Amino acid sequence: MDPAPSAVRLSVQEAIHTLSSSEDAGHILTTLGSVRRYLGEAEDPALAGEKKEFATVHFSAFLRCLISKLSQEWLELSPDGQLEQLWESFFLEGPADQAFLVLMEGVEGSAGPSFRLMRMAQLLATFLSKGRMAALMEEQCRPQMKAGFPLLQETLLSKVVGLPDHLGNRLQRDNLAQFFPQNYFPVLGKEILQALQVVVNSLRGGLDCSVSFVSRVLGKVCIQGRQKEILSVLVPQLTVLTQDSGLWQRVCWRLAEQVPDQAMEAVLTGFVEAASGPEVLSRLLGNLVVKNKKAQFVMTQKFLFLQYRLTTPMLKSLLGYLAMDSQRRPLLIQALKELLETWGSSSSVRHAPLAQQRYISTAILICLVHLGEPELQDIRDELLAGMMEGVKCHLDSSLTPVRHLGMIVAEVISSRIHPEGPPLKFQYEDSELSREMLALVAPAPEGDCSSEEGGPPLAPAVTKAPAEMSVHGGVSSAQPPGSDSELDSDDEFIPYDMSGDTELKSSKAPLYIRDCMEALAVSEDVQRWEAALQALEGLVYRNPESTREVSVELVKILLHLEDRTSLARFGALRQRALVAVTVTDPARVAEYLTSQFYALNYSLQQRMDILDVLTLSAQELSRPGRLRRPSQHGSPGSGSQCSPTQAVSQPGSATAPNWRVVVEERIKSKTRRFSKGLPQRELSSSPNEFSSVAGHFFFPLTRHFDRPVVTFDLLGDDQLVLGRLTHTLGSLMYLAVNTTVAVPMGKALMEFIWVLRFHADTYVRRGLLSAVSSVLLSVPAERLLGDLPDELLEARSWLADVAEKDADDGCRELAVKALLLLERIRGRLLPSS
C-alpha cells in the first residue's frame, strides 16, 4: 500500500482546491495565511520538517495555482490590496529558484499581451530589485545532493541570462525599462557581487561553497557580447575588495578558472578591457594563464596575433600581467620571440594591415620594457637575428609608416641588447606615430624633486621681486637708485628690426642662364654654386626663350646635381628649378625625362624625382590663369616666390613701393560709400597648356614598366618606385580632364591597371585604385560607356572584390569611392536600368 499522505500534502491540496473554487475574499485570505506558515513568516510557523517538505515538494505546484488564478477581478476581491500583497509574498519570500522558474514559465505560457503577463513582469522587476536574484545564485553556490540538480542549474542559467530576451519577445513595445539589456546586466553584476559576498562569508565560517554557477552565468553573459555592461560593475568592486583580502583574491581566481572554455575568450576580453592596470589583472586572474590552456592560448596567441583590437593601455595591462609573476614570465619571453618572428616576416609586412603591424610593433616594445638585462642576454642572438631580418623587410616597404615602424623597433631592440655599444640611429620625421611608439619605452617621469628629497628648490630665480627684473626678462644686478648704470640704460629704446637683412656674399648671383649652367656644372666656388642654384628659377621664368635653347642640357645638369655644400633648401630649390624648366619647354623636357626614367645608371631617388617633377609641372601647366600671374616668380637672387607687394613690406628692402597702389589704398580708406554692391570679380580664363603636351608626359611612362634592366626592376624589388609611378599616372590622368587626349590616356591607364591589379604591395594597390577614380573623373561619361564598356564591367567586379576582401583599410576605402563614382555615372546615363 502507498504511504498515507502527509499533513503538508493534505493542507496544500485543500488550499489549491479552495483557491480554485472559492470567490470569498475572507476564505481565500485565510487559506493563503494557513499555507504561508510553511514559509516561516506566520505567527505560528510550521515545524522544520514541514517547511522543508513544502519547499522541496509542494512549493512550485502551489505557485502555479496562484499564477492560474491571477486576474484583475480576482485581485479586486480584496479592495484593500491585502490579497495582492499576500499573493506577492509567496514569490518574494519562498525559495528563489522555484519562484523565478514558475514566473518565467508563466511569462512564456502567455499567448499575448494581457493583465496577467504585465503583472508577472512587474513582479519579476520587484523580484530583481529585492535582491532575490542574488538569493537564487547563493542557493546554487551551496553543496547540493539533489538528483536533478545539474538539469536545474542549466535551466536557471538559460533563464537568468536570457531574461531580457524572453520578456522583450513577449512584451514587445510594452517591455519594462528594467529589462532592457543595458539596464539589466549591470543589476545582474551587483547581484553577483552580493552572491560572492555570501560565499566569502561562508568560507570564513568554515562552510564549503562553489562559484561554478556564478562562473557559468558570467561566461554566458560575456559570450552574448555584454561584457562591458556586467564587468563595468564587477571589476571596479572586485578591484577594491581584492586589494587587502587574500580570500577575495582566491574567490576571484576560482571564479575565472571555472568559466567554461567556450566562454573563456569573451570573459578574458572583458577583464582586460575593464582592468585599470596589470596589478588589477593579476589580482583578479591569478595564474589562470598557467593553469588553463584555453586562457593561455587566448592571452598569448589570439590577443597578440589573431586580433589587434586591444588599445595600447589594454596591451600594457595584458603584457604587464604576464610579467608580474615568475611563473608567467616564460610566457612573456615566448610571446616576444613569436612577435619578433611575425614582425620580421616579409609576408606579414607585405600583406598585414598597417594597424596590425603597428599593434605588433607596440607589443614588442612593451615586452622589451618588462624584460630585464639577464633575460634579454639569454635570448640576445634570437633578438638580433629577428631584428636584422625585420629591418630589411620594413625598409623595403613602400609605405612610410611601415618603414618608420621598422626603424623605431630596430633602434629600441639594439639599445636593449647592446646597451654598451654605439646606438643604432635612423633618420625619420617626427610624427604622431614616432612619438607614440617612443613614449612606450621612455623612462617613467621621476617624482617632483622637492624638499622631501632634500634637494634645493628648482627655480629660485622665480621668487625674485618684479623690481629686480629687467625689461627683457633678465635679472638685473643690484644697484642703488639713481646710479649711473640706471641713468645710462637704453632699455626704453625700441630694437631695430633686422629680420630683413641678408648675408653679404662675395659672389654675385648670375644674370644669364648659361652662367648658371656653368656655375652648377664646373664651378668650384661654393658661394657661386649656391647663388646660381638660388637664382636659377627666377632666370628661367624671366628668360623663356633662352631657356628653350638649353632646356634639355639644363635639366640633365639639375637631374645629376648633388648637394655639395649641405644647403638647407637644396632639394626644394632643385625641384623648383626642374619644374620651371619643364613648364617653360614642356614637350622636349618631358620627352627627355620620361626616356631617362627607364634608362640605366639612375638611382631610385632620381627616378622618383623625375615623377615628382612631371606631376608638379603638369599641375602648373593645367592651372587656370597661369600666364596672368608672372609676378609670382621671384627675382633671380631671391630663390623664393614672392610678389612685389610682399617685398615692399620687408624691412630693408630696396624695392620701391608702387605709388599707384598706395594712392588707391588711401582713397579707399577715406571714401564713404553707402552701398558697394556685390564684388565684381573677373573670372580668369585661358587655354589649358597641359592639353597639347599631356601625351608627352603620360604615354612614355606606360610603355616599358614590365622590362627590367640591370639596376631597375619595377615588377621586382623596386615596388616603391612602381607605387609612385601609379600615383603619378593617376595624377596626370586627372589633370588631363576636358582634353582631347583624355580618352586614349584612359584606355592606356586601364590596361596598365588591369595588369597590376593583384599586386601584393599595398602602396601600389592604392595607386591603382586612385588611378581608376582619375579615369572616371577625367574621361567624359558618354565616352566611358561608348569606348570602355568592357573595361568598366571588369573594373566593377574587381573593385567590389577589393572593397570586400582587401586587407588594407585604405585600399577598401578607395575601392568604395571608385564604386560610388561608377554607380553615379551609370545612374546618370542609364536611369532606367
* Residue range 77-120, pLDDT digits in tens: 777 778 888 888 888 888 888 899 989 988 888 777 788 888 88
Are 655 and 635 in contact, with CB atoms under 8 Å apart?
Answer: no
588 CB-near residues (< 8 Å, 6+ apart):
548, 551, 552
Extract the C-alpha cell encoding 352: 598585414
Mean of the per-residue pLDDT values for the chain?
82
Between residues 477 and 790, the one the model is more confident about:
790
pLDDT at residue 255 above 90? yes
Query: Would you give the distance in Å from CA 387 to the centre of its chain?
Result: 26
523 band by pLDDT with thresholds 50, 70 and 90 = confident
Percent of the chain that is helix, strand, coil (3-state, to 5):
70, 0, 30
pLDDT at residue 470 above 50? no
**pTM of the predicted protein model:** 0.71
Q: Quick one: pLDDT at residue 710? A: 78
pLDDT tens-digit profile of 648-679? Answer: 333 333 344 466 777 777 777 777 766 555 55
Q: Quick one: pLDDT at residue 528? A: 85
Over residues 45-69, the mean pLDDT reads: 81
Q: Quick one: pLDDT at residue 453? A: 38
Which H/E stretch holds residue 522?
Answer: helix 513-522
187 CB-near residues (< 8 Å, 6+ apart):
128, 133, 178
Over residues 176-203, the mean pLDDT reads: 92
SS3 for 276-299, per residue?
CCHHHHHHHHCCHHHHCHHHHHHH
Q: Quick one: pLDDT at residue 4? A: 54
Q: Quick one: pLDDT at residue 490? A: 59
Q: Quick one: pLDDT at residue 74? A: 82
pLDDT tens-digit profile of 357-401? Answer: 999 999 999 999 999 888 888 898 899 999 999 999 999 888 889
Burial (CB < 10 A; 0-12, 13-18, 19+), residue 402, is buried
Which H/E stretch holds residue 413?
Answer: helix 400-417
Q: Quick one: pLDDT at residue 466? A: 35
Query: Would you give the distance in Å from CA 41 to the centre of its chain?
Result: 59
Burial (CB < 10 A; 0-12, 13-18, 19+), residue 641, is middle
Query: Would you give the distance in Å from CA 388 to the centre of its chain?
Result: 29
642 band by pLDDT with thresholds 50, 70 and 90 = very low
Single-letter amino acid, residue 264: M
Over residues 581-606, the mean pLDDT reads: 92
Q: Quick one: pLDDT at residue 258? A: 92
Beta bridge partners of 712: 709
pLDDT at residue 750 above 70? yes
**Least-confidence region, from 208-222, 238-252, 273-287, 630-644:** 630-644
pLDDT at residue 639 above 50? no
What proportion of the chain, given as a percentage, has pLDDT over 90?
A: 39
356 band by pLDDT with thresholds 50, 70 and 90 = very high
Between residues 146 and 314, the one the model is more confident about:
314
72 band by pLDDT with thresholds 50, 70 and 90 = confident
pLDDT at residue 285 above 90? yes
Angle at 273 between CA 269 and CA 278, to 5 degrees: 100
What proportion of the chain, given as a percentage, has pLDDT over 70?
A: 84
Are 104 and 159 in contact, with CB atoms under 8 Å apart?
Answer: yes
pLDDT tens-digit profile of 302-346? Answer: 999 998 889 999 999 999 999 999 999 999 999 999 999 999 998
pLDDT at residue 164 above 50? yes
- The Cα-based distances of 333 to 90, 169, 300, 414 in angstroms read 59, 50, 10, 17
Between residues 471 and 62, the one the model is more confident about:
62
634 band by pLDDT with thresholds 50, 70 and 90 = very low
pLDDT tens-digit profile of 57-68? Answer: 888 888 888 888
pLDDT tens-digit profile of 680-733? Answer: 555 566 777 888 899 999 999 998 888 888 788 888 888 889 999 999 999 999
Q: Quick one: pLDDT at residue 63? A: 86
Which H/E stretch holds residue 29?
Answer: helix 25-36
Are 201 and 161 in contact, with CB atoms under 8 Å apart?
Answer: no
Q: Quick one: pLDDT at residue 502? A: 59
By C-alpha distance, which of 282, 287, 195 is closest to 242? 282
DSSP for 155-215 reads HHHHHHHTHHHHHHHHHGGG--GGGSHHHHHHHHHHHHHHHHHHHHHHHHTT-----HHHH
Block residue for cell numbers 625598409: 395
| Fold entry, domain 513-644 | 1.25.40
By C-alpha distance, which of 560, 609, 614, 625 is closest to 586? 614
Q: Quick one: pLDDT at residue 282? A: 93
Over residues 792-797, the mean pLDDT reads: 87
637 CB-near residues (< 8 Å, 6+ apart):
509, 531, 534, 535, 538
pLDDT at residue 144 above 80? no
Q: Quick one: pLDDT at residue 655? A: 40
* Length of the chain in terms of residues written: 833
SS3 for 45-100, per residue?
CCCHHHHHHHHHHHHHHHHHHHHHHCCHHHHCCCCCCHHHHHHHHHHHHCCHHHHH
Are 579 and 620 in contact, with CB atoms under 8 Å apart?
Answer: yes
Are 321 and 328 in contact, with CB atoms under 8 Å apart?
Answer: yes
